[in-house]
Amino acid sequence: MDAIRLPERLGLGLAKERLGLAKERRLLRVGHRVIAGIDEVGRGPLAGPVVAAAVVLDLRRAPKGLADSKALTPAEREALFEEILAAAEVGVASLSHEEVDRLNIRRASLLAMGRALAALPCRPDIALIDGNDPPDLPCPVEAIVKGDATVASIAAASIVAKVVRDRMMRRLHERFPAYGFETNVGYRSPRHLAALTSEGPCPFHRRSFAPVRGVCAV
């Protein structure tokens, strides 16, 4: 799937409480003006794409309650997803299961993050990346371990990437219900592994991942 650009939307008119913005404020004080947070979702699943998001928050309207997407309920993620789209610049990109198999998951994840940055409707002058393995980007990059739990811009990116990918996997569940994609979103689960054994892989499984590769080899 190619990079997609999500248009900026009008806000609700009321400023949200600004939480977790210390990092962005420090960068503003030293001269940075457009600060992007970037994160990816989908390194571990046995099926489906890897999805990355880049988010440039308007610090005056940053949504309240931003957190690592894994720490939020699905309902909280969905609500924050809409608030982020209403109050930020957002770029999203995904690489298919086939690209993951061809490139390997690390290279696919880094490429997805670069494409997400390129999909932004603005040009960041610094990017904050979750983890310690940053992609090569056309701007300065700072990698922050556990950044999705400590930096608002990265947390917002993790939420956007997670919601986009979960929606994609729920659509796949409608076509391939045996694997339980509506709940496991492609990750390992007893139901998923049992279906791999009984049904074999579907067209969207990652053939390079060991459990799938083992089934294909039988």
pLDDT value of residue 140: 96
- For residue 25, tell me if it sits in a domain: yes
Taking all residues of the chain, what is their mean pLDDT, rounded to a whole number?
Answer: 90
Q: Which CATH number does the domain housing residue 23 bear?
A: 3.30.420.10
- For residue 45, tell me if it sits in a domain: yes
pLDDT value of residue 136: 95
- For residue 208, tell me if it sits in a domain: no
- For residue 213, tell me if it sits in a domain: no
Q: How many domains does the chain have?
A: 1
- For residue 158, tell me if it sits in a domain: yes
Predicted TM-score (pTM) of this structure: 0.89
Residue range(s) defining the domain that contains residue 64: 4-174
> How far is residue 52 from each of residues 13, 127, 167, measured CA to CA in Å?
28, 13, 14
- Please give the Cα distance from 115 to 92 (Å, whole number): 8
Q: Are 172 and 148 in contact (CB under 8 A)?
A: no
pLDDT value of residue 216: 79
- Model confidence at 12, pLDDT cuts 50, 70, 90, reads very low
Provide the pairing of β-strand 88-95 with 35-41: unpaired
- For residue 130, tell me if it sits in a domain: yes
Question: What does the pLDDT look like over 13-48, one tens digit per residue?
Answer: 333 333 479 999 999 999 999 999 999 999 999 999
Question: What does the pLDDT look like over 168-184, one tens digit per residue?
Answer: 999 999 999 999 999 99
Q: Which among 44, 142, 41, 137 has a CA at the least distance from the CA of 93?
A: 41
pLDDT value of residue 35: 98
- For residue 29, tell me if it sits in a domain: yes
Percent of the chain predicted with pLDDT > 90 = 88
Within 13 Å and on the Cβ side, how many CA atoms surround 200? 4
- For residue 214, tell me if it sits in a domain: no
- Please give the Cα distance from 206 to 186 (Å, whole number): 10
